[in-house]
Amino acid sequence: MGISTEEDPKERKNNKDSLDEMEMKVAKYSRGKAANLGALRDKKLKGQLAGKERLIGQSAKAAAQAEKWFLPIEGGYLEPEGLEKTYRYQQQSIVQEVDLLSSRKPFDMILPVLGPYTLEYTSNGRYMIVGGRKGHIAMMDMLNMDLIKEFQVRETVRDVAFLHNEQLFAVAQKKYPYIYNRHGTEIHCLKEHGKSLKLQFLDKHFLLVSINSFGQLHYQDMSTGEMIANYRTGLGRTDVMRANPYNAVIGVGHAGGKVTMWKPTSVKPLVTMLCHHGPVTAVAFDRGGHLMATAGVDRKIKIWDLRKYEVVHSYTARAQSLDFSQKGLLAGSNGSLVEIYKDSGGQDYKVYMKHRMIKGYQVDKVLFRPYEDICGIGHSMGLSSILVPGSGEANFDTFVENPVETRKQRREKEVQALLNKLPPETIMLDPNMIATVRQPKKKEKKTKKEIEEEIEDVVEAAKNTKVKKKTKGRSKPSKRAKKKEEEVLKAKRPLLDQYKETNGQPEKKQRIGDQSELPKALQRFAKNRQP
Amino acid sequence: MRVKVISRSTDEFTRDRSQDLQKVFRNYDPALRSQEKAVEYTRALNAAKLEKIFAKPFIGAMDGHIDAVSCMAKNPNNLKAVFSGSMDGDIRLWDIAARKTVCQFPGHQGAVRGLATSTDGDLLISCGVDCTVRLWKDPMRRMMDTSDAIGDASQPSAVYTWKHAFWGVDHQWDGNIFATVGAQVDIWDHNRSEPINSFEWGKDTLLSVRFNPGEPDVLITSASDRSLTLYDLRMSSPARKLIMKTRCNSVCWNPREPMNFTAANEDTNCYSFDSRKLEEAKIVHRGHVSAVMDIDYSPTGREFVTGSYDRTVRIFQYNGDHSREIYHTKRMQRVFCVKYTYDGTYLVSGSDDTNLRLWKSKASEQLGVILPRERKKQEYLDAVKERYKHLPEIKRIVRHRHLPKPIYKAANIRRTMIEAESRKEERRRAHSAPGSRPVQPFRKRRLIKEVE
């Protein structure tokens, strides 16, 4: 065995790589940049903040270093060899390659009578609930493929949603949404929501959000039963609604091509974006909160940056439903074709996998299963599930979501969730705004005094301008005085308007509807000012 | 094709036997936890509310004296022992764990005015208006006894009679010397029946005395001529004197920063001074609505407790200008003496209603043994509360204290008076020649002069 005195250049490169990797990990855990202490003048505060920053740095580093012990499972992947393309791989060939346990996970369930089916997973990915349009509800334990409960409601089922855990779920039925427990017992009928088309549950806030056939949004607190908010979108009937997991804002896609975003404490939408020419068919949000994918009837799938509200990429493709996975894969369904897209750098999504159902099946919903490399598909002839390597988060946190939780852990988690229930006011576009200082408004209105001073200055300047000497009697003292006066008036006119505004009475514009203005014949068209 | 998918066998992630602990897996990735700030804020808010719910600071009253409690002393040798002296001359030793009298000393004729223990805890010194100083050897004997019968302790080991009534006593840290105050400052030795030294500066009565914990030869007294005087035993005369507008009832050195002391003043405020710079107070601690009678520092030096004539006990941060906590009960009358116990967890107050009262220093603290997990949780909640303390909702809940109506009203009246005074001063300044009425900071306003 020889002892090499010189360091291997390859090894050195590896070391450098691992250092860079470490830095990236630390950046992930330090949650944003450090405060700029250089600009501070208060020494005491500076010292305190410096101490805090040091602590944050240490804990980020510790978390990054502990990653290799805490994260024992490697995430999934699918890598081509040679000239192969990942999207050419069939499900059968993938299933043959993976281990026995995983090869049992994909399935095709043919339920031709009561479809098309929609589905939903619990946030820990263990349980699945499916709803057939013609009234078939079934709940399954996906860990050991057990059917927990199956029943018929004998009326139209439009959507299903789990509440905070698998014990309760909501079903949007023909006239109202209902709440059932895992034994299929009806617990509540939420008549106030009306004929709801889509349901979403915000688990940190315990809010059930529904949109009904009149385009009304309802927010109901599921722990107290209180109706928190009820807003008209005013943009017509739609069944495209998704919650943004990053900030719990609800995104609604409308038939006019608009996507609006809502929070329960404002009557008006926070954001209205014109995303498509023609109806929006699907909306999905990434876990990181900065990406939104929309699909429209105009044969476009668009990826949006939600920090700038701009299109990042636009692709020509159809999609009836979209979903982002935990690791950022995007699934879209078009007829009987399910396509999975993957970020190839710079949010440019390229086709990663394709899965074609049997011809004639119409895919209704695609949904990634959390903490697993699986995508669930609800279609007109039943349910399917396919393997999508690299879609799920490999390592769960027992205290956040636990796919193998026991009954006791579930109960404990329920109590904690109720204790930490967030008030509806905490839903906002930027959730990190809480406990930060509001920036002062850039343009302050000038005070009366300031305007007066400014006018004085302007007048003084205007008076001091030299008037050109002119011939043929145009420089007579009277003319010159008049000219100066004009100059002064011209200089102070823009300021006078501001001055009037500060006096409290902005100049009222005459309304067209004012009756005195209109000739008699037109007066009846004027808006009636009395309610 | 290289392919791998997530595959977890359930056995790997669950415990093998029901006796085992549940397996815990952590992933600290921030992406798994959305809305972290909102969650933290909610936790802080809930913690602030729970703190209010659990705030039950009063542990119990200890009755036994038949007249007002005038003075107390704690024993450095024993955490649960407190001596108290009352206006009828009675001296008692209390076990504050059991909240019982352990021993009763046949005290003085007339009020006991001062109590002090030596640093080793083997000697109790009492003095009173009957012009005597009494020394009690081994005062803790009863406490160590297993027999729980309350009986009279033995007679004092020494009784020294002197020329004037005494108002206070304090024992030197590490030494054989103690000082009494009355008409003058007398320095005594344990073994001498007459003072070994006396100091006099002015003719007025001295009210309290405290030895410096860091420099054993330095002591401070407060007197009814509104002065605070520093003495050095190595010199023949007093060192420095500060005269204020109102008198100080009590003084206490900060045990961790022994150059600083805090004086409990008659004008409802406490003044913290650096003994090297007496020209201005470091901090004025405001809050009481009547004269502050007694003050005692916590052994950590971060907090002190004050008792006041307004029937409340307050806790201040050593550098805080307003009280952190206000304690009161329906039955507690004028508080004459307060002590912070040597473990920093409890307060003892003695008041006019003949009772001693035991309080927790942190109102909502859980007593007893705390499991490490509970402690960690508490630390986390404290940190979160600290982080979000500036938000209005949390601030409101944390700051709120219910006060008895008379104190609440008195505080309002005081505020009005102070505002009126400052307004008047402002107007005077506006109408006098510029610079002729300089702005006097509050730290200096109540001081008159310093005499060397």
Dihedral pair phi/psi, residue B91, rounded to 5°: -120, 135
For residues A293 and A284, what is the distance between their CA atoms, to the nearest angstrom? 5
**Does B27 map to a domain?**
no
Per-residue model confidence (pLDDT) at position B321: 92
Query: Which residues of A fall within a CB distance of 8 Å from B10?
Result: 143-144, 404
Query: Which residues of B fall within a CB distance of 8 Å from A94?
Result: 1, 3
Backbone φ/ψ region at B371: left (φ over 0), alpha (ψ -120 to 50), beta = beta
Give the max Cα distance, chain B: 106
Cα(first)–Cα(last) distance of chain B, in Å? Answer: 93
Give B231-234 contacts, CB < 8 A, sequence gap 24+. Answer: B231/B185, B231/B199, B233/B177, B233/B187, B233/B197
For residues B187 and B133, what is the distance between their CA atoms, to the nearest angstrom? 12
**Does B326 map to a domain?**
yes
DSSP assignment of B130-149 equals: TSEEEEEESTTHHHH-S---
Give B138-144 contacts, CB < 8 A, sequence gap 24+. Answer: B139/B75, B139/B83, B139/B93, B139/B103, B139/B105, B140/B75, B140/B77, B140/B78, B140/B81, B140/B93, B141/B103, B142/B93, B142/B102, B142/B103, B143/B78, B143/B81, B143/B93, B143/B95, B143/B102, B143/B103
Per-residue model confidence (pLDDT) at position B177: 94
**Claim to verify: residue B42 and residue B70 sit in the same structural domain:** no
| pLDDT tens, position by position, A51-70 | 999 999 999 999 888 887 77
Q: In what order do the strands lie in the sheet with A250-253?
A: A240-243, A250-253, A258-262, A271-274
Which pLDDT band holds residue B220 (cuts at 50, 70, 90)?
Answer: very high
Nearest CB partner across the interface for A99, out of B7, B26, B39: B7
Which pLDDT band holds residue A503 (cuts at 50, 70, 90)?
Answer: low
A203 touches chain B (CB under 8 A): no
**Claim to verify: residue B294 and residue B187 sit in the same structural domain:** yes
For residues B302 and B344, what is the distance between their CA atoms, to the nearest angstrom? 10
| pLDDT tens, position by position, A322-380 | 999 999 999 999 999 999 999 988 889 999 999 999 988 999 999 999 999 999 999 99
Backbone φ/ψ region at A55: left (φ over 0), alpha (ψ -120 to 50), beta = alpha
Judge contact between B167 and B181, C-beta under 8 A.
yes
The residue among B360, B385, B417 that closes a domain is: B360
Give the residue on B whose Cα is nearest the Cα of A401.
B32
**Claim to verify: residue B355 and residue B391 sit in the same structural domain:** no
Angle between helix axes A43-70 and A9-29 (nearest 10 degrees) is: 120
Determine the distance in angstroms separating the CA of B392 from the nearest CA of chain A, rounded to an integer: 10
For residues A209 and A222, what is the distance between their CA atoms, to the nearest angstrom? 10
**Does B68 map to a domain?**
yes
Nearest CB partner across the interface for B6, out of A76, A80, A426: A76
**Claim to verify: residue B51 and residue B150 sit in the same structural domain:** no
- How distant is the alpha carbon of residue A213 from its chain centre? 23
Query: Which residues of B fall within a CB distance of 8 Å from A245?
Result: 34
Task: Count how many domains chain B has.
Answer: 2
Residue A262: strand pairing partners? A250
Nearest CB partner across the interface for B30, out of A31, A97, A422: A31
pLDDT higher at B174 or B41: B41
In the chain, the amino acid numbered A223 is S
Query: Which residues of A fall within a CB distance of 8 Å from B37?
Result: 431-432, 434-435
Cα(first)–Cα(last) distance of chain A, in Å? Answer: 98
Average model confidence (pLDDT) across chain A: 89
Query: Which residues of B fall within a CB distance of 8 Å from A66?
Result: 26, 28
Question: Torsion over CA of A40, A43, A44 and A48, rounded to 10 degrees?
Answer: 60
With H, G, I as helix, E, B as strand and everything else as coil, classify residue B53.
Answer: helix
| pLDDT tens, position by position, A387-414 | 999 999 999 999 999 999 999 999 999 9
Short-list B141, B135, B133, CA closest to B77: B141
- Determine whether the interchain pair B35/A395 forms a contact, defined as Cβ–Cβ distance below 8 Å: no
With H, G, I as helix, E, B as strand and everything else as coil, classify residue A510.
Answer: coil
- Determine whether the interchain pair A371/B6 forms a contact, defined as Cβ–Cβ distance below 8 Å: yes
Any idea what the CATH number is for the domain that residue B265 is in?
A: 2.130.10.10
Determine the distance in angstroms separating the CA of B248 from the nearest CA of chain A, rounded to an integer: 32
Angle between helix axes B372-387 and B36-54 (nearest 10 degrees) is: 110
Enclosing H/E stretch for B83: strand B81-86
Residue A129: strand pairing partners? A120, A139
Per-residue model confidence (pLDDT) at position A516: 60
The burial class, CB within 10 Å (0-12 / 13-18 / 19+), for A119 is buried
- Determine whether the interchain pair A431/B28 forms a contact, defined as Cβ–Cβ distance below 8 Å: no
Per-residue model confidence (pLDDT) at position A243: 96
Domain that holds residue B375: 35-55+369-428
| pLDDT tens, position by position, B359-389 | 999 999 988 899 999 999 999 999 999 999 9
Report the share of chain B in percent with pLDDT over 70: 98
User: pTM (2 decimals)?
Assistant: 0.84
Task: Decide the pairing of beta strands A207-212 and B2-4.
Answer: unpaired
Q: Hey, what domains does chain A have and what are their CATH numbers? A: 111-426 (2.130.10.10)
DSSP assignment of B140-183 equals: THHHH-S-----B-PPPSEEEE-SS---EEEEPSSSSEEEEESS
**Structure letter (DSSP) for residue B101:** E
Q: Looking at chain B from residue 388 to 407, which residues have their Cβ under 8 Å from any Cβ of chain A?
A: 388, 390-391
In the chain, the amino acid numbered A231 is Y
Dihedral pair phi/psi, residue B85, rounded to 5°: -120, 145
**Structure letter (DSSP) for residue A426:** G
Give the total residue count for chain A.
531
Query: Which residues of B fall within a CB distance of 8 Å from A144?
Result: 10
**Does B18 map to a domain?**
no
In the chain, the amino acid numbered B371 is L
The residue among B360, B388, B420 that closes a domain is: B360
Place of tokens 């529904």: A210
| pLDDT tens, position by position, A133-158 | 999 999 999 998 999 999 999 999 99
The burial class, CB within 10 Å (0-12 / 13-18 / 19+), for B94 is buried
Give the residue on B whose Cα is nearest the Cα of A67.
B27
Per-residue model confidence (pLDDT) at position A9: 56
DSSP assignment of A212-267 equals: ETTSEEEEEETTT--EEEEEE--S----EEEE-TTT-PEEEE-TTSEEEEE-TT-S
CB within 8 Å of B358: residues ≥ 6 apart: B58, B59, B60, B61, B62, B96, B99, B346, B347, B348
| pLDDT tens, position by position, A39-48 | 889 998 999 9
Give the total residue count for chain B.
452
pLDDT > 50? residue B57:
yes
**Does B444 map to a domain?**
no
Nearest CB partner across the interface for A397, out of B32, B39, B387: B32
**Claim to verify: residue B50 and residue B73 sit in the same structural domain:** no
- What is the CB-side half-sphere exposure of residue B449 using CA atoms within 13 A? 2
Per-residue model confidence (pLDDT) at position A2: 40
**Claim to verify: residue B389 and residue B264 sit in the same structural domain:** no
Average pLDDT value for residue range A87-113 = 92
**Claim to verify: residue B353 and residue B381 sit in the same structural domain:** no
For residues B402 and B411, what is the distance between their CA atoms, to the nearest angstrom? 13
- Determine whether the interchain pair B5/A63 forms a contact, defined as Cβ–Cβ distance below 8 Å: no
pLDDT > 80? residue B145:
no
With H, G, I as helix, E, B as strand and everything else as coil, classify residue A385.
Answer: strand
Taking CB atoms and an 8 Å cut-off, how many pairs form between chains A and B? Answer: 145
pLDDT > 50? residue A305:
yes
**Claim to verify: residue B334 and residue B398 sit in the same structural domain:** no
DSSP assignment of B395-448 equals: HHHHH-----HHHHHHHHHHHHHHHHHHHHHHHHHHTS-TTSSPPPPHHHHTEE
**Does B231 map to a domain?**
yes
CB within 8 Å of B81: residues ≥ 6 apart: B74, B75, B93, B94, B95, B96, B102, B140, B143
Which pLDDT band holds residue A4 (cuts at 50, 70, 90)?
Answer: very low
| pLDDT tens, position by position, A242-254 | 999 999 999 999 9
Dihedral pair phi/psi, residue A293, rounded to 5°: -115, 135
Query: Which residues of A fall within a CB distance of 8 Å from B22?
Result: 398, 406, 409
- Determine whether the interchain pair A426/B46 forms a contact, defined as Cβ–Cβ distance below 8 Å: no
Angle between helix axes A477-502 and A448-464 (nearest 10 degrees) is: 170
CB within 8 Å of A77: residues ≥ 6 apart: A389, A390, B2, B3, B4
Short-list B376, B277, B261, B355, CA closest to B311: B355
Short-list B252, B265, B262, B283, CA closest to B224: B265
Dihedral pair phi/psi, residue A108, rounded to 5°: -130, 120
Query: Which residues of A fall within a CB distance of 8 Å from B38?
Result: 204, 422, 426, 431, 434
**Claim to verify: residue B46 and residue B87 sit in the same structural domain:** no
With H, G, I as helix, E, B as strand and everything else as coil, classify residue B302.
Answer: coil
**Claim to verify: residue B389 and residue B259 sit in the same structural domain:** no
**Does B77 map to a domain?**
yes
**Claim to verify: residue B109 and residue B198 sit in the same structural domain:** yes
Short-list A181, A184, A183, A202, CA closest to A135: A184
Give the residue on A whose Cα is nearest the Cα of B384.
A435
CB within 8 Å of B4: residues ≥ 6 apart: A74, A76, A77, A98, A389
For residues B106 and B153, what is the distance between their CA atoms, to the nearest angstrom? 7
Which pLDDT band holds residue B152 (cuts at 50, 70, 90)?
Answer: low
Kindly provide the residue ranges of all beta strands, DSSP E only, lying in A23-156, ordered along the sequence.
Answer: 77-79, 107-110, 117-121, 127-132, 136-141, 146-152
Report the share of chain A in percent with pLDDT over 70: 92
Judge contact between A407 and A154, C-beta under 8 A.
no
**Claim to verify: residue B272 and residue B393 sit in the same structural domain:** no
Place of tokens 């930060």: A436
Give the max Cα distance, chain A: 112
With H, G, I as helix, E, B as strand and everything else as coil, classify residue B105.
Answer: strand
Q: Looking at chain A from residue 381 to 420, which residues have their Cβ under 8 Å from any Cβ of chain B?
A: 387, 389, 392-401, 403-404, 406, 409, 419-420
**Does B183 map to a domain?**
yes
Average pLDDT value for residue range A452-464 = 86
For residues A380 and A363, what is the distance between their CA atoms, to the nearest angstrom? 6
